[in-house]
């Protein structure tokens, strides 16, 4: 999917980043919570300085940082974004937490669109990335459930023009399902570029030891 998107002119979709933006999410939440305290101006008050905190200014700075150092769009880039796969319970224990994070992302990147790509848990559990995890299918089933719930929630909040969910086990036989979803998101999709990219098999092999499952997760 990443290759299919990047095949289009003016598009730069970066790969995984170990959920780097969750750190920004936690930081921004802390700033918001602090700024909502007693607004004390006295230096002996335990919340001294919170009156000067400006969460929206912090958010703008975080956006500039993310664009400059993570997404790094080119001067000719018209669409940018990133792929992530780390949505298991070890990263987001439930759909409410995941929804909160994704809503932060759309605050960080206004006009953000979401393309969720799921896969049959039984099939995915046999893949090179999951085959050594005895709990793989259970983890993937719960992850899919959370993603489907959150996709529905975001669709209700933002509209179908901002959120689409597709399934690998369906589009691998019919890539028009991908092009239709991308078109719904307003992406300048070209059918031939998508079909060519999706017909190319990628072999990633086993995950390196530092990315091995921790508890029930894989990321």
Q: Where are the domains of the chain?
A: 11-84, 86-203
Q: Specify the pLDDT at position 26.
A: 97
Q: Does the pLDDT at position 39 exceed 70?
A: no
Long-range contacts, stretch 123-128, CB < 8 angstroms, 24+ apart = 123/169, 128/204, 128/205, 128/206, 128/207
DSSP state of 71: I
Q: What is the pTM of this model?
A: 0.88
The DSSP bridge partners found for residue 163 are 114
pLDDT digits (tens, 9 = 90+) for 83-139: 999 999 999 999 999 999 999 999 999 999 999 999 999 989 988 778 888 899 999
Distance CA 61, CA 194 (A): 35
Average pLDDT over the chain reads: 90
Q: Specify the pLDDT at position 216.
A: 32
């Amino acid at each position: 999917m990443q290759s299919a998107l990047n095949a289009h002119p003016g598009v730069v979709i970066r790969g995984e980043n170990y959920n780097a933006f969750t750190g920004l999410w936690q930081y921004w939440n802390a700033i918001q919570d602090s700024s909502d305290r007693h607004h004390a101006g006295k230096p002996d008050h335990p919340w001294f300085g919170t009156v000067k905190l400006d969460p929206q200014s912090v958010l703008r700075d975080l956006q500039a940082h993310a664009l400059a150092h993570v997404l790094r769009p080119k001067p000719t880039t018209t669409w940018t974004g990133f792929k992530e796969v780390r949505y298991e319970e070890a990263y987001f224990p439930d759909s409410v937490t995941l929804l909160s994070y994704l809503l932060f992302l759309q605050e960080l990147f206004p006009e953000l669109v979401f393309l969720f790509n799921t896969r049959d848990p039984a099939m995915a559990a046999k893949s090179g990335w999951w085959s050594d995890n005895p709990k793989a299918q259970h983890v993937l089933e719960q992850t899919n459930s959370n993603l489907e719930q959150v996709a529905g929630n975001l669709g209700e909040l933002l509209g179908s023009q901002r959120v689409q969910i597709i399934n690998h086990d369906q589009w691998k036989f019919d890539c028009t399902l991908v092009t239709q979803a991308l078109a719904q998101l307003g992406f300048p999709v070209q059918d031939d570029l998508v079909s060519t990219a999706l017909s190319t098999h990628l072999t990633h092999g086993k995950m390196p030891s530092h990315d091995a499952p921790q508890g029930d997760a894989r990321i």
